[in-house]
Structure 1
């Protein structure tokens, strides 16, 4: 199963590069990208999981309704994208349930940073997908973590997909910077080995980020954003469907795992 997911959040990334961006622009940019994503998913008739901050959800109630009414899964990406306290785990779960009318069973920490598994369990989540089991300088070193799903503190851990052996990450930056043919080859290798893929993206990638003065992003972040990203994602989904890869939400994936013979 392909677990396609999107971290929908207030677009605060320019702050990491020393740029200012208004809250209104943070919301409007992520809103535009989320609409582009939903249109693509509608086109291909596939389901995905949206990890959403409460801050973003409160500002786009119509998109939250569209996500849930079209059969996608809503999960928690925290209360705020740039601030975290352990109590936000439960508070974000409860608030997203109020806003969506949907049970929230999954969590992904902002920027895939470490999160206390005991606190995740106490907040009532069934799964956590906050691990990128590879090495990225200055961000994390997770070579010691299982490449595929495992249990910890009674919570199912579903790390982001990385290739077998060399653990090349298949996350959003790889998708932007690799030739599409190479990215497809890596996903094919990983899917054949693991029988599932967990790949994630963000709404702002589906908007034009080329304005260096405004956002301050280096070339490897700006590359293939906006319409190029929409076209590349359209191409990837079409290719996966032609190879008969099934798409599903994390909740559906967990249901399949529970039904597998021991």
Structure 2
């Protein structure tokens, strides 16, 4: 698949506004546990996502920032009032699919049904139009060229579904680092999660486990590199369960999964507070609109 990368950046006054996002899923819905906790067991487990999202909303309000909440349809179906609260607080509600199935496990017809189902639930619960999508586990890659076609045909404006790095669970290392238009006939924009350049190589620097495990100084350096050297906005994400050190443990999960999932949960909230106060942040739909405008300028 060929892409039209968006190489140039607009001239801006003041700090670049970065994209802040939350992947709304509960502690048992993560990729690390997908082989040890069945979907049929989810409703019997402790639901903690609502309390965690409320804490995040308080943090964003304190910092006076707006963000995008990429939310599972499964969560929205059970927490309609929370969806309305997100929207009423001025944040964007976007789709994370229905139940966190990786996109490359679908065919196009299955994917179409998944995003249609999730969007219907999100819009019915919140009363807001959903125009953004993020694939669970950043699972867009060279195996899923039809995914962009389906998003465009269903009227989505943007996707943030690519991690342009090599990783054992996800990654599309050949993809552009910054926003690109995946389809020549559509205005749909893909906005990859942030990477930085270290020693001539791309490194993941957009949040999640990397932010939680590595020193805060690494993320500060990476975001500054993207803002100052590349003159582009960073795209940062995290999960509600990452600020919840009291969540249940899954003792039968692989040790590698447990290490990734539980390391530094008690340090995440203070690091997030520092991050949201240090940099300028905004919603992903606003960022997508700006990036699409750059593409139009370059094409003119």
TM-score by length of 2: 0.77
Contact 1:32/1:207 (8 A) holds in 2: no
Q: Of the candidates 179, 204, 212, which is equivalent to residue 149 of structure 1?
A: 179
Cross-structure match for 2:138: 112
- The worse-fitting range, judged by mean Cα deviation, of 47-56 and 77-86 is 77-86
Number of paired residues? 255
Partner deviation per Cα, 1:49-100 (whole Å, 9 max, x = no partner): 0001111011112211110001000001112223762212223223321211
Using the TM superposition, give the Cα deviation of residue 176 of structure 1 relative to its aligned residue in structure 2, in angstroms: 1.2
Contact 2:165/2:172 (8 A) holds in 1: yes
Confirm whether residue 190 of structure 1 aligns to residue 220 of structure 2. Answer: no
Contact 1:12/1:26 (8 A) holds in 2: no
Using the TM superposition, give the Cα deviation of residue 15 of structure 1 relative to its aligned residue in structure 2, in angstroms: 3.1
Q: Of the candidates 10, 18, 36, which is equivalent to residue 55 of structure 2?
A: 36
Confirm whether residue 2 of structure 1 aligns to residue 5 of structure 2. Answer: no
Cα separation, 1, equivalents of 2:130 and 2:171: 29
Q: Which runs of 5+ in 1 are unaligned?
A: 241-245
Cα separation, 1, equivalents of 2:38 and 2:293: 49
Cα separation, 2, equivalents of 1:15 and 1:220: 11
CA 1:18–1:91: 2 relative to 1, 3 Å: closer
CA 1:93–1:101: 2 relative to 1, 3 Å: same
CA 1:31–1:195: 2 relative to 1, 3 Å: same
Alignment of 1:224-239 (within 5 A): 224-225=264-265, 227-239=266-278
| Runs of 4+ in structure 1 over 4 Å off | 19-22, 24-27, 214-217, 258-261
Cα separation, 2, equivalents of 1:176 and 1:35: 20
**Root mean square deviation of aligned Cα:** 2.4
Secondary structure in structure 1 of the residue aligned to 2:282: coil
Using the TM superposition, give the Cα deviation of residue 222 of structure 1 relative to its aligned residue in structure 2, in angstroms: 1.3
Cα separation, 2, equivalents of 1:200 and 1:141: 15
Contact 1:27/1:56 (8 A) holds in 2: no
Contact 2:163/2:173 (8 A) holds in 1: no
CA 1:255–1:63: 2 relative to 1, 3 Å: same
Cross-structure match for 1:222: 262
Cross-structure match for 1:251: 285
Partner deviation per Cα, 1:162-212 (whole Å, 9 max, x = no partner): 013421111311101111112211221122214201111111111115845
Q: Of the candidates 204, 216, 226, which is equivalent to residue 169 of structure 1?
A: 204
Cα separation, 1, equivalents of 2:210 and 2:116: 32
Confirm whether residue 213 of structure 1 aligns to residue 251 of structure 2. Answer: yes
TM-score by length of 1: 0.88
Q: Which runs of 5+ in 2 are unaligned?
A: 1-16
